[in-house]
Structure 1
Amino acid sequence: MMTGLIMPTMANAQSANASSSNTPVQLPAVTVSGQGETALTPVTGYVANQQATGTKTDTPLIETPQSISVIPSDQIRDQNAQTLNQVVRYTAGVTAETRGAVATRYDQLKIRGFDAVTYLNGLKLQSLYYAAPQIDPFLLERVEVLKGPSSVLYGQSPAGGLINQVSKRPTATAQNEVGIEYGTNNHVRGTADFSGPIDAEGKFLYRFSAVGLSEDGQMKMTENERIAIAPSFTWRPDANTSLTLLGFYQHDPKGNSYGGIPPQGTVLYNPLGKIPVDFYDGDPNFETFDRRQTSLGYAFDKRLSDVWSVRLNGRWLHAKVAYDSVYANGLARDNRTLFRGVATSREAMNSYTFDNQLEGRFSTGPVQHTLLAGFDYQRLDGHYAAGFGAAPSLDVFAPTYGMAITRPATNRTDVDGNQAGVYLQDQLRLGGFVLTLAGRRDWAETTSTTARGSTRQYDQAFTGRAGLTYVFENGIAPYVSYAEAFVPQTGTDFSGKPFEPEKGTQYEVGVKYQPAGLNSLFTAALFDLTRSNLKTADPIHPGFSVQTGEVRSRGIELEARVGVTKQLDLIGAYTYLDVEYTKDNTGLQGKQPPAVPRHQASGWAMYRMAEGMSLEGLSVGGGLRFTGSTLNTANTFKVPSVTLVDAAVSYDLGALSDKLKGAEVSLNAKNLLDKEYVASCYYGDWCAYGYERTVTAGLRYRW
């Protein structure tokens, strides 16, 4: 989400002469969509009307010619989502938690069958090897999921889509909150959020959010620990100017594990029995995951006139990781001896991300324009010293830990990367038609240096997007769009020619519907998405690659968000995916990528008792999540489908007594029926168990 977006302004209806007279002047009527909501306004309930991720302008969702899902803070809180994977569990087109309960330290998920990339406040969260940033959801105001190629506005970006996390920001009115919760696996979590004006005029605003976490991981002898703070400050010297500073610090001293389990004894039959759901393939005496993240960002907004506005956004982020891991590497023929590998790395990086925009809202005859011109720049410099080796094997049915493990030798790599891009977008409105046209040119360069020397990769690409929407007066808005993506690839072919960037192209048709008088948004999308220029084996020169690989994703997404009444919110989603390798020289052609289900469906309902009812103050929620069967990499076996149940109950203690006003107790259960399942076999012989039942009970006080 780009920061500080300014709603369309009404041109002056008064001339200079009229302003100086006492003659009443009748202003033209103005229709504001979303009941005054903007792309940065906190959403009440589950239904957002505005977005900025898909256009970088404050645009109604119904006018955006691409599929976008917005998960507001009310939903995040009601479902007690504590990872990004949990936040997007009920979102169409997204396959969450493909690594199950293992990889909580990373936000690994898929959009439309392909790996997603994460952003914070519209700026990419750059990563280096194991130093991948992660933001605690408590620090977020909302999450926006943009599905499909997005390079025209964001530069190098995967074809599947991106997830933009939007930080909590200072508020004009005071709001304060503290909370504590306990749960299964020795879960303890504390939260605090303070916000409001500093001065009487409201020119200076502040916010301070914090979260602390300690819990055992699902795998025995593993732990999660976190402390995170996010201070922010806003200065508004006048109605047309705003500067917000956004700070962030997060320390994760421990991060569960990052291993896997073999399919034999989990998905496949093992004559010796079933591998326990809490089996740990690592070693507690060797496991290390210590990540520190620090960032400072700014968002400057200035309305220059009734037509033109400028936005300047930037962020510096530093990440440092110490990483040691022992991981599963295949099961021996005796069906019990687990081969294992060892990995180690010490790394640090600094990333700098800037996005500067000029926006104009004007008319040329009957056509209204929202013109956006931008220049963005990303830089990453850092290093990692990684090494890999073999670790002692482990008996999966009688594991012995604490064995001597030799840390492998490491080799240092220094990375220096730059990307610059210029883009231009115009949203043209004529009657009910909204035509969106955009183009961009990118230049990307990366230099990697080791003891053996340096390698340089240089790429440039042009990407575009075109979309047409027609908004009927009854709230129905069909659309059609085309979008492109590119991702640079390292290496050279047999002749020494550097590989060209991977390309992504998508054709999408859909319809969005917002019926009058009902706080709701219904969406349906049909898409055809292709990734090309993929590296695959060179059939003539063994050991080398050529860029003839291709994979295609076709599908349907249906999503409904309905605020039936002030008391009842509903979410429903369904996804059908047909993903297939269409060109490949390694035997994958015609096969389906691993961990991608053909069918997904989910539904969630939250009901709050109305005032005056006998159970006033009580809120009850529940949901179902269905994930269809998936395949392993070789497509030789299936991972069974699974249906999971979630539940939530909360009670406002203020309904009992005015002295308890602001206090609320809550109870959340995820996988309520404690279904044991394998989330996926995501690569080779590596599979992952899904989450067992987790229950948390909390107390929150707001004033």
Structure 2
Amino acid sequence: MCWMKTSLVAVAVMTCVQQVDAQTVTRYEFDVPRGPRDEVVREIARIGGSIVSLSHPDAPGLSEATGRIKGNFTLAEALEKALAGSEWYVAAAGNDQVRIARTGENSSDIIVTAFRGKLRKEDSSLLTRSDTPLKQTPGTVVSVSQAVLASQNVTSLEEALRNLPGISFTPGPPFLLSSRAGVTNGTSFTNGLRNASRAGPSPVVDAAAIEVLKGPSSVLSGTAVAGGLLNIVPKLATGVSPDEISIGGGTYGYVRGSADVGGAISEEDRLYWRFVGLSEFARQKNQGGDEPSTKSGTFLLGYRNDGWKIDSITQYYNTRSPFSRRYVNDTSQDRIIDVDDYFSRDTYYQNESIAQQLQLERNLVAGNNFELRMRARGRYQRANESFTNINCLFGCIGDVPVLVTAYRGKSDQYSGSADFYAKLVTGRLEQQLIVAFDYAGAKGTNFDVSDFGFGLPAPSPLAIPTASTPGVLLSQSRRRDYGVVVQDQINWGRFHALLSLRQTWFHERLTNDDPLLVPVETNVSKLLPTGGVVFDATKWASIYYSYQKGITPPQQFARQANGDLLPPAITTGHEVGAKFELFNSRMSITANYFRSTTSNQPLPNPANPLIFIPVEGRQVDGFELAQVGRITPTLFLQSGFVYTRPKTEVSRIGQPKYVANAWLLKTVGLGDKRSLDLGFGANYQSKAGILFDDFITGARSYPRVAVDYLRFDAAIGITSGPLKLNLTVDNIFDRLNLYNPSVADSLARAPGRDVRLVLTLALPGAR
């Protein structure tokens, strides 16, 4: 059927990482009584987490009666049943759209879109490379939606990750995300494409969701992901945006303004635009340096027509993050010591990034039993990073050396992927086959300068170098990370299986202007398998097992006695668990047991600390419990608990033994488009391990941090028509907390109590 002759179109706009639309794979329990077709469609959309707007409510056939819709279906399947016996039918499903069509000359639209403020993500493609319901994903993916972040007045990645169980964040550079005793070392992804390492953590106002795949995944990322894969799901221009602006303020001179607006460039051609911007500034960081700030702007274009889905994302941001007040862990007395004599309010790091991302999908064949889709994505990012810092070498106790460093780095990151996705249905057997190629290349330049000081007070920060001059070390790097993936995802009744093989290649070359140092080259080639199986025990419960491998290239400074680099570190993960969809699929619960081992971990030779030996490094196991969703239609809860048991001393570094989090949000209707939102949450980390080197005796130990991490947060939001006023208080009791540390003489304090008040105005015409 020619698109120009379509007279009814239903567009289900759901944000997702890539590939198949969530609304076409997620199943819901429907029980819709007989009634007029337009009312039945509205009720189906409501159950599927969507709303309907009719541009022509008097379109022929919408008032006709249709039968009862009862059963467990996807949104597209339920709509097909509602349209049975009429001239309407579902013309295509997938590609972020469900299209209902009827031959004719006059055009009218039904737009079916996710509820504004959707509080949970029900699917992911991080493990399977195609959007799969979390209940059928053989692994653990935890996520937080933009709606939850808005309820907390959150704009930074650091604060966003507090919602994810078992995830510890340490600010940079580089920022570290740790999980299951593995560390990302600044590696992150946007819609499955690698971000520049020098770009730092990006603001999250233009993110629809933040998600992390637990374990050493390699299907999507290739190298350098050991404990968890961090992916930012961007907002898209789909013709339906919140159209809102906000202003706010808070403690320590904090002010902010933001906007999220969009619309149609051409509704007939289904070409849309959207802009998301943020500007925020504070006089000082709570328990840190001066003048933290963020400026960001993202312009989006989206095209949805004739089987095409094209998205363009242009993003710019500039963040200035002062360092926090520092502490030292006194292992002899099991306490922490404030070393504010060495703290400088002028120490900070700054990241600037401009990125362009383009992604497209094209339905080549669309049928009931066979689908074929071509998908391609590309990303270019130019990033600059600079910082100045003061570190104590021997614990900042007494008359000790102080190392002052300054650094500037810039990089260009190219990332891309292309694949063919085929779905084949034969009776009860459904196979989703993917052949994919991805590439990530980067080149970077660093300028470093350092100096030593002794005693009190701490020396002033050094000027950040801008070029290679005497005393400034220039180093350059080139990196290529690419691979080929062959995958089969099988659905057969209650059984779901994932079989994936990735051949990954990695090459890196480092050079510098020090004549005593020779260029360093690293080459890695490895075949990495991933597999898993899920069994649907009931409509609301499933059990699963997964096997994953990840690879981390050798560290350039870690040399063996003969001068060679160590072999790459291989992390192997096993996971077994159960998943539940409760309260008519309003709530998801995941419980699992995991085990992770890493080979070829570099360990300094006790006889010569400058020489490293490969050992069986991090070995951990433990269990996790994660929950997200609505207990009742007005009571939302996102929470989790993770217990990690290190099997080796090195596994204790940066790994809390107990991690728990919760965010409870209650909505109270006040009538006449007014409501009250009450939020309360907490975060807890206990027995985090650190590395301690005694420079006098040469002994190395792995004590735990002397204080646990504990904070409580609260929020109250009042909505009246288009206005919402949201007040948040973070760390209510102003408790001393520390970021998840790695070494005993560099413990950074997490923010104390912060109060923020944000007023949001929904503009006329917002849908």
Task: Provide TM-score, normalisation by structure 2.
Answer: 0.79
Partner of 1:471: 536
Distance 1:153 1:33, change over 3 A: farther
Q: How does 1:46-445 map to 2 (within 5 A)?
A: 46-96=119-169, 99=170, 103=171, 107-116=175-184, 117-127=187-197, 131-201=198-268, 203-215=270-282, 216-219=284-287, 221-238=289-306, 240-252=307-319, 254-257=320-323, 260-264=326-330, 268=334, 275=338, 279=340, 281-284=342-345, 287=347, 289-306=349-366, 307-331=371-395, 335=397, 337=399, 339-364=401-426, 366-395=428-457, 409-445=471-507
Q: Deviations over 1:561-607 (max 9, x none)?
A: 131233211122111001232xxxxxxxx465233221122222111
CA contact (8 A) 2:639 2:661 kept: yes
- Aligned amino acid, residue 529 of structure 2: G
- Aligned amino acid, residue 582 of structure 2: P
Inter-partner Cα distance in structure 2 for 1:376 and 1:561: 32
Partner of 1:690: 750
CA contact (8 A) 2:480 2:507 kept: yes
Q: CA deviation at 1:545?
A: 1.9
Inter-partner Cα distance in structure 2 for 1:202 and 1:551: 54
Partner of 1:701: 761
- Aligned amino acid, residue 622 of structure 1: F
CA contact (8 A) 2:199 2:352 kept: no
Aligned pair partner of 2:584 in 513, 517, 522: 517
Deviates more, 1:555-564 or 1:433-442: 555-564
CA contact (8 A) 1:439 1:464 kept: yes
Inter-partner Cα distance in structure 2 for 1:507 and 1:72: 27
Q: Deviations over 1:160-185 (max 9, x none)?
A: 01110111111323531111111111
Distance 1:202 1:697, change over 3 A: farther
Inter-partner Cα distance in structure 2 for 1:564 and 1:90: 17
Q: CA deviation at 1:4?
A: 4.5
Partner of 2:56: none
Distance 1:448 1:104, change over 3 A: closer
Deviates more, 1:497-506 or 1:36-45: 36-45
Q: Deviations over 1:326-353 (max 9, x none)?
A: 2333346xx4556421112222110100
Q: CA deviation at 1:684?
A: 3.2
Inter-partner Cα distance in structure 2 for 1:562 and 1:42: 15
Q: Deviations over 1:617-648 (max 9, x none)?
A: 21111012222132332234542224321100
Inter-partner Cα distance in structure 1 for 2:609 and 2:639: 49
Distance 1:358 1:141, change over 3 A: same
CA contact (8 A) 1:383 1:412 kept: yes
Distance 1:436 1:511, change over 3 A: same
Partner of 1:32: 74
Identity within the alignment, % = 20
CA contact (8 A) 1:291 1:321 kept: yes
Q: Deviations over 1:52-109 (max 9, x none)?
A: 222120111100000111211111111222322211213222123xx4xxx3775422
Query: What is the DSSP-based 3-state SS (H/G/I as helix, E as strand, rest coil) of the residue aligned with 2:632?
Result: coil
Partner of 2:593: 526
Aligned-residue RMSD, C-alpha: 3.1
CA contact (8 A) 2:629 2:636 kept: yes
Distance 1:174 1:259, change over 3 A: closer
Inter-partner Cα distance in structure 2 for 1:296 and 1:352: 10
- Aligned amino acid, residue 389 of structure 2: S
CA contact (8 A) 1:331 1:339 kept: no
Distance 1:77 1:310, change over 3 A: same
Q: Deviations over 1:674-693 (max 9, x none)?
A: 11233454313221222211
Q: CA deviation at 1:501?
A: 1.3
CA contact (8 A) 1:45 1:563 kept: no
Distance 1:402 1:354, change over 3 A: closer
Q: CA deviation at 1:144?
A: 1.1
Query: What is the DSSP-based 3-state SS (H/G/I as helix, E as strand, rest coil) of the residue aligned with 1:138?
Result: coil
CA contact (8 A) 1:599 1:628 kept: yes
Distance 1:576 1:293, change over 3 A: same
Q: CA deviation at 1:284?
A: 4.7
Distance 1:280 1:605, change over 3 A: farther
Inter-partner Cα distance in structure 2 for 1:6 and 1:676: 44
Partner of 1:606: 665
Partner of 1:628: 686
Gaps of 5+ in 1: 11-25, 582-589, 655-660
Q: CA deviation at 1:385?
A: 1.6
Query: What is the DSSP-based 3-state SS (H/G/I as helix, E as strand, rest coil) of the residue aligned with 1:159?
Result: coil
Query: What is the DSSP-based 3-state SS (H/G/I as helix, E as strand, rest coil) of the residue aligned with 1:639?
Result: coil
Q: Deviations over 1:201-259 (max 9, x none)?
A: 25111110011111111245422112110101112342x1021111011122x321267
CA contact (8 A) 2:22 2:123 kept: no
Residue 553, structure 1, aligned to residue 620, structure 2: yes
Q: CA deviation at 1:132?
A: 3.9
- Aligned amino acid, residue 629 of structure 1: K
Distance 1:122 1:269, change over 3 A: closer
CA contact (8 A) 1:282 1:328 kept: no
Q: CA deviation at 1:699?
A: 0.8
Query: What is the DSSP-based 3-state SS (H/G/I as helix, E as strand, rest coil) of the residue aligned with 1:153?
Result: coil
Q: CA deviation at 1:7?
A: 6.4
Inter-partner Cα distance in structure 2 for 1:689 and 1:440: 41
Distance 1:179 1:592, change over 3 A: same
Inter-partner Cα distance in structure 1 for 2:477 and 2:140: 35
Inter-partner Cα distance in structure 1 for 2:442 and 2:341: 35
Inter-partner Cα distance in structure 2 for 1:417 and 1:341: 29
CA contact (8 A) 1:568 1:606 kept: yes
Query: What is the DSSP-based 3-state SS (H/G/I as helix, E as strand, rest coil) of the residue aligned with 2:482?
Result: strand
CA contact (8 A) 1:175 1:196 kept: no
Deviates more, 1:34-43 or 1:526-535: 34-43
Inter-partner Cα distance in structure 2 for 1:199 and 1:266: 69
Q: Deviations over 1:109-133 (max 9, x none)?
A: 2112221332111111131xxx243
CA contact (8 A) 1:680 1:689 kept: no
Inter-partner Cα distance in structure 1 for 2:551 and 2:488: 21
Inter-partner Cα distance in structure 2 for 1:601 and 1:39: 37
CA contact (8 A) 1:632 1:639 kept: no
Deviates more, 1:500-509 or 1:628-637: 628-637
- Aligned amino acid, residue 304 of structure 2: R
Deviates more, 1:30-39 or 1:636-645: 30-39
Partner of 2:554: 489
Task: Provide TM-score, normalisation by structure 1.
Answer: 0.86
Inter-partner Cα distance in structure 2 for 1:531 and 1:149: 10
Inter-partner Cα distance in structure 1 for 2:434 and 2:333: 51
Partner of 1:584: none
Deviates more, 1:435-444 or 1:151-160: 151-160
Inter-partner Cα distance in structure 2 for 1:187 and 1:65: 43
CA contact (8 A) 1:678 1:687 kept: yes
